[in-house]
Chain A
Amino acid sequence: MEFGLSEEQILLQDSVNRFLSDQVPLDRVRKFAEEKDAGDDIWQGLVELGIPGLIIPEASGGVGLGKLDAAVVSECLGYHVTPAPFIGTVIMAPVALIESGKREDLLRAIAAGESKVGVAFGESIGARADAGIEFDGSKLTGKALFVLDYLADFVLVATNDKKLLLVSSDADGLDKRELTTVERTRRTGELVFNNTPAELISEDLEVYLKVLDAGRVMLAADTLGAAQNMIDQSVAYAKVREQFNRPIGSFQAVKHMCAEMVANLEPCRALVWYAGYALDEVPEEARLTACHTKAHLSEVGKAVSKTATEVHGGMGFTDLLGLHYWFKRIGFNRQILGAPELIREEAARVQNLVT
């Protein structure tokens, strides 16, 4: 019996963290956000580490690891607020293609780091602002908002009735425009479909849910990493920042804020690990744990990101320090693929507590 990360998982974590610390420090993230470059060097580095093929079977050119391994990587990306098309390309698209048995060629291209896939799932969870997507058997009509990595080579689209489709970025009748959000380490946009040709990947609700659950657990892991970084920065700052001739961390008011952040976040680590593990190994619990993990990490992440900013005082509020990159990353993770209240309602339905 072992509840924890294996040596291999710790090595994987170390190598991703080393690359990100060395090659993608906050200055590089700032450049991505401010100059809107493509981030090709970051992606290339991740490709060299084998990240795109992480959960793709070796027979399809991937590494063949599990969702817990992927969650470990997602945590690293959150820790470093790394701009990368991870959720769609590395997680949700491969799960959809593996589960449906479709587009082996694309799976191989993803594993090789040659193709990227965005995700348009918002309308299947709860369509806002009159958006919504219908599929008539061959073509898509409607509008998708806040599509993650909307400029990728392909977009995995979920219709209102939870069918999964693949749309090529150069398809006919597809209009794209950027939707600016607070979170500048991820790019989101609007896609308008006018009888746009699309390939049906799955009509099976189970496949849709597996894709969604995997995406949610990875977002939770990203929040875990981002929140951990905010705690680490807060503790380091509280040790060196002096007021009234002593480090502010010696005041109980500040010390207790740090302790509360840790007390809230530490159990989340075990929760995320289990949720990642359950996606592959405990299918009967995977849905409920994915829902609770996404919703709970959203709540804890929100509390940590507020408290950590406060520990830094006025500096925490500035762009100079850049703490807001983590704050906004956590805020984005909270809303995308289902905000906490919506997901908790799903969690109740999963258990038949409500009909």
Chain B
Amino acid sequence: MDLSYGSEYETFRTEVQTFLEKHKDTPTQGALRSENVLNWQRTLIENGYAARTIPKEYGGYGAEPNILESRIIAEEFANAQMSQGQGGQGISMLVPTLLEMGTEEQKKQFIGPTIRGEMIWCQGYSEPSAGSDLASLRTSAVLDGDEWVINGQKIWTSTAHMADWIFCLVRTEPEAPKHQGISFLLFRMDSPGIDVRPLVDMTLNANFNEVFFTDVRVPKDQIVGQRGQGWLVANSILGFERGSLASPDAMLMRLNALIDLMQKETINGQSLMTYPSYRDRLMQIQARVMAMQFNDMRILSSRINKNQDTKLASMIVKLQGTELRHELEALALDVMGELGMAIGDNPYLRDKGLWQYHYMYFLGLIIGGGTNQIQKNIIGERGLGLPREPKVEINK
């Protein structure tokens, strides 16, 4: 156990701090593709604080991957409460996939504009009848001359209403076994035949969309990997998504906000923190947050020190993290009592209604990104080696 970063990293930390101090008044917020956002993103890439390990020839900063440097950047940006720039599924999922599986032309065409925040992507995976059983997806792509012709429907497509492009799983080989008949296509969202309908969820926001495809024509070469390899391509990036749904850093920020709330709010003039039952629940949550933070440090460390086995420690993060976060937000609602129900223009609204919003949103994340029941199958089968459920014979 050695939790020091070493002196060369402290120098690096000072550099990051100097950068943040210099830019503390730079505007960083705004709508997607707005001038502020694009300028800030460009500044971040030039200094190596975004797209840090993306090769220079594709528009990145071109640094060697270094977990501790990335960690220090995240810590210092969080301390300074400065934006770490653009995220989204294009940057977090498509770019690593293209680096791994894309052609040279695809890398040149897509990575630069994506990391600069100019090209926004959405992910077309889930379908109404292909959720946990994603590989049973039915949206079809049929080759007609030099073009794929796409028909079908996707659902849970976040940012589809804002996206320029979609990376999409489609069935190209209907006769092949289900995992081997899928291809990974890239196409423009303004292609004729695409209809995006917002899907209002329980938070009463449209965090997701339904996307309908009717004879959408896509150039033949806009495929990543070979025909029928789409499942492999998609699986190489699903792992990226799962861990990122339950960041322990965000969890710690919410815990501190909860402590703050419990100290400030009162019942009959008494601080909520003076109520032993509330306090006890808070302490239980704090211990669990602490455990997840150390679990995260252990995983981080295993990426530097290759002899450490953290397979199970990594597999449980999505399951534990989303459940814990949901419970943390739930405790805030409980300690607030009736105040916890307030939303919208209610004059007694606390913290802009974020507690209620996150409470519901994290229920969505318990289901999304591979439901927590599917996570338990994965832990049981791939983590513990328990036998799979026997396949049910289908009578055709």
> Which of B300, B384, B387 makes the CB contact (< 8 A) with A259?
B384
Contact in complex: B287, A256 (CB < 8 Å):
no
B4-45 vs A, CB cutoff 8 Å, 1 = contact: the mask equals 111000000000000000000000000000000000000000
Contact in complex: B291, A296 (CB < 8 Å):
yes
Contact in complex: B294, A4 (CB < 8 Å):
no
With A270-B294, A299-B284 known as contacts, the answer to whether A255 contacts B376 (CB < 8 A) is yes
Q: Which of A154-162, A243-251, A324-332 contacts B (4 or more CB under 8 A)?
A: A243-251
With A3-B294, A4-B305, A266-B313 known as contacts, the answer to whether A250 contacts B388 (CB < 8 A) is yes
A267: CB under 8 A from chain B? yes
A38 to B342, CA, bound (A): 64
> Which of B263, B276, B295, B308 makes the CB contact (< 8 A) with A266?
B295
A33: CB under 8 A from chain B? no
With A1-B5, A6-B1, A235-B386 known as contacts, the answer to whether A269 contacts B284 (CB < 8 A) is no
**Residue on B nearest A271 in the bound complex, by CB:** B291
Min Cβ gap B68→A in Å is 6
Residues facing A in B284-316 (CB within 8 A) are 284, 286-288, 290-292, 294-295, 297-298, 300-302, 304-305, 308, 312-313, 316
A268: CB under 8 A from chain B? yes
A354: CB under 8 A from chain B? yes
Contact in complex: B291, A4 (CB < 8 Å):
no
Contacts of B305 in A (CB 8 A): 2, 4
A1-14 vs B, CB cutoff 8 Å, 1 = contact: the mask equals 11111100000000
**Residue on B nearest A254 in the bound complex, by CB:** B386
A345: CB under 8 A from chain B? yes
> Which of B259, B286, B294, B385 makes the CB contact (< 8 A) with A347?
B286
Residues facing A in B345-396 (CB within 8 A) are 373, 375-377, 379-381, 383-390
Contact in complex: A3, B291 (CB < 8 Å):
no
Chain B interface secondary structure, helix, strand, loop or mixed? helix
From B2, B259, B381, residue with most partner A Cβ within 10 Å: B2
Contact in complex: A5, B376 (CB < 8 Å):
no
Residues facing A in B129-183 (CB within 8 A) are none
**Residue on B nearest A238 in the bound complex, by CB:** B386
> What interface size band does chain A fall in?
35 or more
A347 to B385, CA, bound (A): 38
B3: CB under 8 A from chain A? yes
Contact in complex: A3, B3 (CB < 8 Å):
yes
A30: CB under 8 A from chain B? no
> What interface size band does chain B fall in?
35 or more
With A3-B300, A256-B376, A345-B280 known as contacts, the answer to whether A251 contacts B389 (CB < 8 A) is yes
Min Cβ gap A251→B in Å is 7
Contact in complex: A354, B387 (CB < 8 Å):
no
With A238-B386, A260-B376, A263-B316 known as contacts, the answer to whether A4 contacts B381 (CB < 8 A) is no
Contact in complex: B279, A2 (CB < 8 Å):
no
Contacts of A68 in B (CB 8 A): 1
Contact in complex: A258, B380 (CB < 8 Å):
yes
Min Cβ gap A63→B in Å is 17
A305 to B278, CA, bound (A): 27
Min Cβ gap B28→A in Å is 29
Contact in complex: B295, A270 (CB < 8 Å):
yes
Contact in complex: A235, B301 (CB < 8 Å):
no
A193: CB under 8 A from chain B? no
**Residue on B nearest A341 in the bound complex, by CB:** B280
Contact in complex: A2, B294 (CB < 8 Å):
no
Min Cβ gap B294→A in Å is 4
Contact in complex: A267, B1 (CB < 8 Å):
no
A116: CB under 8 A from chain B? no
A86: CB under 8 A from chain B? no
A289: CB under 8 A from chain B? yes
Contact in complex: B2, A1 (CB < 8 Å):
yes
**Can you list 27 pairs linking A and B with CB atoms under 8 Å apart?**
A1-B2, A2-B301, A4-B302, A6-B1, A68-B1, A239-B385, A239-B386, A250-B389, A255-B377, A256-B373, A259-B375, A262-B312, A264-B320, A266-B295, A267-B295, A269-B298, A281-B3, A295-B283, A295-B284, A296-B284, A296-B290, A296-B291, A344-B280, A345-B280, A347-B283, A353-B259, A354-B279
Residues of A within 8 A of B (CB): 1-6, 68, 235, 238-239, 246-247, 249-252, 255-256, 258-260, 262-264, 266-271, 273-274, 277, 281, 289, 292-293, 295-296, 299, 341, 344-345, 347-348, 353-354
11 other contacts beyond A249-B386, A281-B1, A295-B284, with CB at 8 A cut-off?
Answer: A3-B1, A3-B3, A238-B386, A250-B388, A259-B376, A292-B290, A295-B287, A296-B284, A344-B287, A347-B287, A354-B279
